[in-house]
Amino acid sequence: MIVGIDLGTTNSAVAYWDAGEARLVPNSLGQLVTPSAVSIDDDGELLVGLPARERQPTHPDRTATAFKRYMGTSRKLKLGRKEYAPEDLSALVLASLKRDAEVHLGGPVTGAVITVPAYFNDKQRRATRRAGELAGLKVERLINEPTAAALAFGIHQRAVEEPFLVFDLGGGTFDVSLVEMFEGIIEVRASAGDNRLGGEDFNRVLIDFAREKLAGVLPETHEGEALYEVMRDAAERARRALSEADEAPYRFVWDGREHRIAVTADAFAERAEPLIERLREPVLRSLRDGSTKVGELSEIVLVGGATRMPIVRKAVTRMFGRFPDTTVHPDHAVALGAAVQAGLKRRDADLDEVRLTDVCPFTLGVGISERDARGGRRDGIFSPIIERNTVIPASRVQRYFTMIDNQETIRLEVYQGEARHVVDNVWLGQLDIPVPRKPAGEVGVDCRFTYDTSGLLEVDVSVPETEISQQLLIYDRDDAALAANLDARREALAALKVHPRDQAANAALLARANRCYEGYLGETRDYVGSLLSHFESVLANQDPREIESARTEIARRLDEIEGEQFL
Ligand code: ADP
Ligand code: MG
């Protein structure tokens, strides 16, 4: 079986294709979305998903989240005493989703279609592919998240070929993409975004608000991570409550004191205005890059948990002058679309006609020198050859000329990026090619860039006059090293002790009750403490039925205290 996986920064989900329909897989807690969180418990066992996220406020040193941000970098994240690469942590989440799917489907899951942000560069894509392989999955294909979302909203079943605008506001990133289907081919025509804008930033707005209201009460000097973690958790709760109500409490305990303020939806909206304003620019840029007018959009689809905020929905409606399509749950769309693609892989009859393409997420070009009007020379100017959002595979050629009389060689330095000066872009490689000695500007070289779907850039430079040509292949060396020891790393990860799957609900409840214990004072705290003691003694008795009924009862009582568990 091949599944579709949305490997998100905050949350992940897995789905499969069955009888002409994409369906989500519930995890061991019965939930359709699994937090992308990993934690090590006191016995050194690994927790993944909700139990891990519940431990974040109480055990920040033993819990890792948001590691997707660092995919494709050499940054390591600490979990207890050990350090892990972001792709290892992603692999642990993927392995947990794989297991959930196997239990649900009653058979082995061998392969997966995994989604990545449209702007992910090649390094990040390769890291994602390795994460899949480390989890024991054959990665059938990586597809862009907006493409998956558009598939979930049925772009492939539309009669009219007008683009979808996918508006995805997640936990930490904002992505806007134009996805289009033309003669059976689906393509991302343009994508833009802000990778520092998401639900977390809206949390920060509430944290700042609370700090202001509590100025003089909260220790000013306490900028520590622990306080931030506690205030962030409170903000997340208040913000979700504000998606449903006009007013919500913001409360937390710090240094043995309970702090409580009330936040109104209006106050939040006013404070969040600068963030709402930042949603506009990427939308305009994607429309510009895709040469599309708002009126030509077939659908505006909302994806990502943070689009559940009423202020975001209002802003979208205002921006486009119409209501977005919300027929698919914003938390589920990407995984469901990945499952549609997994169905395509299986050549399911219902989906026979559809093919996907990718676009180049950044511009590729060379550094050149220019003469200005006064005859002065400017070096290090970027000359784009394959522009961002070009559909790949792509091949483009550009001619460059000598600048000095009797010049003997032309040096081509290859860069990736969007800046006008090459120093601000990423250097990829260089090549020197001999040219016949002639007056400046009389000899030209043709520089051809060929970029394939797996991210390999081939540079062919030829001098038409001499028929000399040279080639440069650009790939990543660190990457080759990482790929080489994949088997050993897979074994190391597989050897980690994982908390038993059938105990996940107990672990999640324990983590939650402990968080509440630390998060309340006085009578409430004593009460939570007694619930915890009771649950621990029930667990010790090992009677599954008794455990289950105690769990349900305690969860209900915690819901009464802090509101229903989110997800
Ligand atoms: P990612 O793509 O980063 O994994 P998601 O699409 O799962 O993220 O979105 C996570 C974000 O959605 C979080 O910041 C969370 O606070 C926010 N979110 C989820 N549900 C709600 C809600 N009901 N109201 C407001 N924000 C929500
Ligand atoms: Mg997402």
Q: What is the CATH number of the domain that holds 240?
A: 3.90.640.10
pLDDT at 345 > cutoff 90: no
Residue 351 has a pLDDT of 56
Quick one: 289 and 150 in the same domain? yes
Q: pTM of this prediction?
A: 0.84
Ligand 1 center to residue 371 CA distance, Å? 51
Pairing, β 2-7 against β 111-116: parallel
pLDDT at 55 > cutoff 70: yes
Q: What is the pLDDT of residues 270-320, one digit of tens each?
A: 999 999 999 999 999 999 988 999 999 999 999 999 999 999 999 999 999
Quick one: 319 and 297 in the same domain? yes
Quick one: 380 and 448 in the same domain? yes
Among the bound ligands, the one closest to the CA of 244: 1
Q: Tell whether ligand 1 has an atom less than 6 A from the beta carbon of residue 306.
A: yes
- Count other C-beta atoms under 10 Å from residue 191's C-beta: 28
- Count other C-beta atoms under 10 Å from residue 484's C-beta: 9
Quick one: 422 and 518 in the same domain? no
Atom 18 in ligand 1: residue holding the nearest Cα = 305
Q: Which domain holds residue 242?
A: 199-273
Quick one: 535 and 461 in the same domain? no
Ligand 2 center to residue 38 CA distance, Å? 18
Q: Tell whether ligand 1 has an atom less than 6 A from the beta carbon of residue 175.
A: no
For residues 352-365, average pLDDT: 74
Residue 566 has a pLDDT of 58
Ligand 1 pocket test target in 5, 9, 10, 566 with most atoms within 8 Å of CB: 10
In single-letter form, the type of residue at position 509 comes to L
Quick one: 322 and 265 in the same domain? no
Residue 401 has a pLDDT of 94
Q: Tell whether ligand 1 has an atom less than 6 A from the beta carbon of residue 193.
A: no
Quick one: 7 and 41 in the same domain? yes
Q: What is the pLDDT of residues 147-182, one digit of tens each?
A: 999 999 999 888 888 899 999 999 999 999 999 988
Q: Tell whether ligand 1 has an atom less than 6 A from the beta carbon of residue 90.
A: no
Q: Tell whether ligand 1 has an atom less than 6 A from the beta carbon of residue 172.
A: yes
- Of 340, 339, 476, 449, nearest to 390 (Cα)? 449
Any catalytic annotation for residue 68? yes
Quick one: 379 and 475 in the same domain? yes
Q: What is the DSSP string of 273-325?
A: HHHHHTTHHHHHHHHHHTT--GGG-SEEEEESGGGGSHHHHHHHHHHHTSPPB
Q: Which residues are near ligand 2, the ion (C-beta closer than 5 Å)?
A: 8, 170
pLDDT at 353 > cutoff 60: no
For residues 324-339, average pLDDT: 96
For residues 104-121, average pLDDT: 92
Measured distance CA(209)–CA(198) in Å, rounded? 18
Atom 16 in ligand 1: residue holding the nearest Cα = 199
Tokens representing 349? 């009859």
Quick one: 513 and 462 in the same domain? no
Residue with token string 């939930």: 31
Confidence of residue 344 (pLDDT cuts 50, 70, 90): confident
Quick one: 300 and 254 in the same domain? no
Atom 26 in ligand 1: residue holding the nearest Cα = 306
Alpha carbon 82 to chain centroid, angstroms: 24
Among 497, 531, 553, the domain boundary falls at 497
Residue 113 has a pLDDT of 95
Q: What is the pLDDT of residues 527-542, one digit of tens each?
A: 999 999 999 999 999 9
Ligand 2 center to residue 132 CA distance, Å? 17
Residue 390 has a pLDDT of 83
pLDDT at 350 > cutoff 70: no
Question: Which residues, including other chains, have CB under 8 Å from residue 215's CB and lie 6 or more apart?
Answer: none
**Catalytic residue chosen out of the listed positions 41, 87, 88, 145:** 145
Quick one: 341 and 485 in the same domain? no
Residues of the chain above pLDDT 90, percent = 71
Residue 193 has a pLDDT of 87
Confidence of residue 245 (pLDDT cuts 50, 70, 90): very high
Among 329, 359, 389, the domain boundary falls at 359
DSSP 3-state assignment of 270? helix
Residue 343 has a pLDDT of 87
Any catalytic annotation for residue 460? no
Measured distance CA(402)–CA(437) in Å, rounded? 10
Atom 7 in ligand 1: residue holding the nearest Cα = 11
Mean pLDDT, the chain, integer = 91
CATH at 379: 2.60.34.10
Q: What is the pLDDT of residues 7-48, one digit of tens each?
A: 999 999 999 999 889 999 999 999 999 999 999 998 999 999
Q: What is the pLDDT of residues 374-396, one digit of tens each?
A: 888 899 999 999 998 788 889 99
What atom of ligand 1 comes closest to residue 199's alpha carbon? Answer: 14
Q: Tell whether ligand 1 has an atom less than 6 A from the beta carbon of residue 34.
A: no
**Catalytic residue chosen out of the listed positions 41, 54, 68, 358:** 68
CATH at 143: 3.30.420.40
Among 359, 391, 408, the domain boundary falls at 359
Quick one: 261 and 123 in the same domain? no
Q: What is the largest CA-CA distance in the chain?
A: 92
Confidence of residue 455 (pLDDT cuts 50, 70, 90): low
Number of domains in the chain: 4
Residue with token string 């005493």: 81
Q: What is the pLDDT of residues 203-213, one digit of tens each?
A: 999 999 999 99
pLDDT top residue among 259 and 357? 259
Ligand 1 center to residue 200 CA distance, Å? 9
